[in-house]
């Protein structure tokens, strides 16, 4: 959770020009955040389903995320930076609520199935993008 709060704090300080800075040949900082919002929402949807059915979510089976990412970036293109952060916080809150309903202890007792929920691995998705953005902002 600390990483996400650090992420929010950094993003809230950026001006519009910084949000438009390129991270790579495809994405701006704004696009990257839109992608994270899409994943946060997908995690909420899939967590309950995985808990109830025992079936892994599609993103643990199929590692081709390009189409999903494109849709997320496109969906949130019209959002300004403040609304995009607000949307991300909304879905993070929903994920936290879902985790509480199921029980954090229950989820952590099955790391093979639910380890993705907490993004605490060495290859943290949030940390990867946070570092990427910080690097671009230093240029």
Full-model pTM: 0.90
Tell me: the pLDDT tens digits for 63-118?
889 999 999 999 999 999 999 999 999 999 999 999 999 999 999 999 888 988 98
Give the CA distances from residue 78 to residues 74, 82, 113, in Å, rounded to whole numbers and listed in that order. 8, 12, 35
The CATH code of the domain that includes 27 is 1.20.120
19 pLDDT above the threshold of 70 = yes
50 pLDDT above the threshold of 70 = yes
User: Rounded to an integer, what is the distance from CA 94 to the centroid of its chain?
Assistant: 13
Give the CA distances from residue 54 to residues 46, 110, 127, in Å, rounded to whole numbers and listed in that order. 11, 11, 28
What is the number of domains present in the chain? 1
121 pLDDT above the threshold of 70 = no
Tell me: the pLDDT tens digits for 31-48?
999 999 999 999 999 999
The pLDDT value given to residue 6: 93
Q: Which residues span the domain enclosing 92?
A: 2-138
22: phi then psi, degrees, rounded to nearest 5: -80, 135
């Amino acid at each position: 959770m600390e990483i996400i709060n650090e992420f929010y704090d950094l993003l809230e300080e950026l001006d519009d020009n910084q949000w438009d800075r390129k991270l790579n040949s495809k994405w701006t900082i704004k696009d990257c955040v839109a992608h994270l919002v899409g994943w946060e929402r997908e995690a909420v949807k899939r967590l309950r389903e995985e808990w109830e059915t025992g079936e892994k979510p599609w993103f643990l089976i199929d590692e081709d995320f390009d189409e999903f990412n494109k849709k997320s970036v496109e969906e949130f293109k019209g959002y300004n930076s403040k609304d995009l952060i607000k949307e991300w916080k909304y879905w993070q809150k929903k994920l936290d609520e879902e985790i509480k309903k199921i029980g954090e202890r229950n989820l952590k007792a099955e790391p093979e199935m639910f380890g993705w929920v907490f993004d605490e691995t060495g290859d943290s998705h949030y940390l990867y993008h946070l570092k990427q953005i910080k690097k671009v902002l230093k240029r």
